[in-house]
Amino acid sequence: MARPMTMAEKILAAHAGLDEVSPGQLVECELDLVLANDITAPIAIDVVNEIGAGVWDAGRICLVPDHYAPNKDIKSAEQTKKMRDFAREHAITHYWEQGCAGVEHALLPEQGVVVPGDLVIGADSHTCTYGGIGAFSTGVGSTDAGVGMASGRAWFKVPETIRVEVEGELPAGAGAKDIILHLIGKIGVDGALYCALEFGGSAIESLSVEGRLTIANMAIEAGGKAGLFEVDDVCRSWLEGRTEREWVEYHPDEDAKYAQVVRIDAADVVPCVSWPHLPSNTHPVTESRHIEVDQAVIGSCTNGRIEDMRAAAEVLRGRRISERVRCIILPATQKVWLDCVHEGLMDVFVEAGCVVSTPTCGPCLGGYMGILAAGERCISTTNRNFVGRMGDTTSEVYLASPAVAAASAVAGHIALPSDLD
């Protein structure tokens, strides 16, 4: 009889062809998907070419031009050309050209390319996002991604699992982004170092899939290898009609062994902001109103889905952003962009004085579409606020939910939506 296992252990065991695995064990696993973007793919492509065996499965490789695309300069144009040529040469099924692309970690779940039970590696640290629908997904270096593209296999050290239980009802105005910021503030940016975070509890069960993807996305900001949510009726309903692939649901055993259990009372999770220069530097919005901002960014693989766009529009409707603030809206995919048009959200954004961009990672990594000058402050729905993350090393990034970012754009300083009434 197999030992009791967590979600992460069960997925890795299944893909290693083993009945059971234990934390610390090294296993070689068969992969379901390998992902790379316009920054990381060119290096991975060099690895594939060096191996010389071609690609393992043209239908299981995902190439997404999203970081500097549409091309911002000649160098980025060469990067995307290399990826495009490789996709055509090897008949890669999941390559998205401009006009069809979007931010990778919003695009793959939306398009039904990744499904529950998958084992995914991606040459991008926020690949952990797909745990929001019950997949084990994790970021790797471009070399490992290249080997994965060529072989369909990868080595893993089975991580310990930290169980996070969030019980109760969230206060008004608090949401998924606040849960993950609260957790990171509680355990620190290395609190889950090389661990899988497994989320549960009544507050988690009440979240939408979009909210779960937001939380899983930032597992890496606590040092996590992956962030995992069990598949339930909410997830099954979201997946319906979205994918033709069969999926496998993995649920933790009742007596699974955890390295730690973190219990959070949902009532303690208030709208909060991560001050510079770490996601763990969290403070309630009510203690942050004195901080003026020059820019607001609403989008990214963390909070660029339609639910996030609606939350921002609800705050911005009938209002104008402050004359001293630039507000940049980044729908994460073309579908989200179209949904914004069909729901009238684009009118709200433009009438409020916002800039609306085509889907791109852009400003999140200091790429383009919102670089900060010396001393400027940005409130952002992205996932990182390290020194120089969005521009000059003396600039500052404050992480928040879409509603708080929108309210701050109107107020000119960090604010709650209720502060605008």
Q: Is the confidence at residue 180, as pLDDT, over 90?
A: yes
Q: Yes or no: say if 122 and 34 are a contact pair by the CB < 8 Å rule.
A: yes
Number of H helices, E strands in the chain: 14, 18
User: Among 202, 231, 263, where does a domain finish?
Assistant: 263
How confident is the model over 260-274, as pLDDT tens digits? 999 999 999 999 999
How remote is the C-alpha of 65 from its chain's centroid? Answer: 16
Does 158 share its domain with 231? yes
User: Among 242, 263, 284, where does a domain finish?
Assistant: 263
pLDDT value of position 332: 96
Does 72 share its domain with 114? yes
Of 209, 217, 279, the C-alpha closest to 237 is 209
Q: Is residue 2 part of a domain?
A: no
Instruction: Calculate mean pLDDT across residues 284-288.
Output: 97
pLDDT value of position 421: 85
Q: Is the confidence at residue 1, as pLDDT, over 80?
A: no
Does 244 share its domain with 338? no
Does 255 share its domain with 283? no
Does 208 share its domain with 248? yes
Question: Percent of the chain scored above 70 by pLDDT?
Answer: 100
pLDDT value of position 98: 85
Distance CA 218, CA 380 (A): 14
How confident is the model over 296-319, as pLDDT tens digits? 999 999 999 999 999 999 999 999
User: Among 244, 263, 282, where does a domain finish?
Assistant: 263
Does 251 share its domain with 353? no
How confident is the model over 323-373, as pLDDT tens digits? 999 999 999 999 999 999 999 999 999 999 999 999 998 888 888 899 999
How confident is the model over 9-58, as pLDDT tens digits? 999 999 999 999 999 999 999 999 999 999 999 999 999 999 998 999 99
Distance CA 175, CA 211 (A): 8
Q: Yes or no: say if 412 and 325 are a contact pair by the CB < 8 Å rule.
A: yes
Q: Is residue 94 part of a domain?
A: yes
Does 221 share its domain with 303? no
Q: Yes or no: say if 269 and 182 are a contact pair by the CB < 8 Å rule.
A: yes
Domain count, the chain: 2
Considering the chain, what is the average pLDDT of its residues? 96
pLDDT value of position 6: 98
Does 16 share its domain with 132? yes
Does 14 share its domain with 87? yes
pLDDT value of position 364: 86
Does 182 share its domain with 144? yes
Does 168 share its domain with 190? yes
Does 143 share its domain with 38? yes
Q: Yes or no: say if 378 and 293 are a contact pair by the CB < 8 Å rule.
A: yes
Instruction: Calculate mean pLDDT across residues 89-97.
Output: 95
DSSP 32: S
Residue 151 CB-density burial (10 A; 0-12 exposed, 13-18 middle, 19+ buried): middle
Name the band, by pLDDT with cuts 50, 70 and 90, for residue 278.
very high
Q: Is residue 1 part of a domain?
A: no
CATH, residue 156: 3.30.499.10
Q: Is residue 389 part of a domain?
A: yes
Can you give the three-state secondary structure of 351-373, one letter per residue?
HCCCEECCCCCHHHHCCCCCCEC
Name the band, by pLDDT with cuts 50, 70 and 90, for residue 69.
confident
The residue segments making up the domain with residue 22 are 7-263
Q: Is residue 346 part of a domain?
A: yes
Total-model pTM: 0.96
Instruction: Calculate mean pLDDT across residues 138-160.
Output: 97
DSSP 2: P
- Per-residue burial over 324-345, b if 16 or more Cβ lie within 10 Å, else e, is ebbbbbbbbbbbbbebbeeeeb
Q: Is the confidence at residue 2, as pLDDT, over 80?
A: no
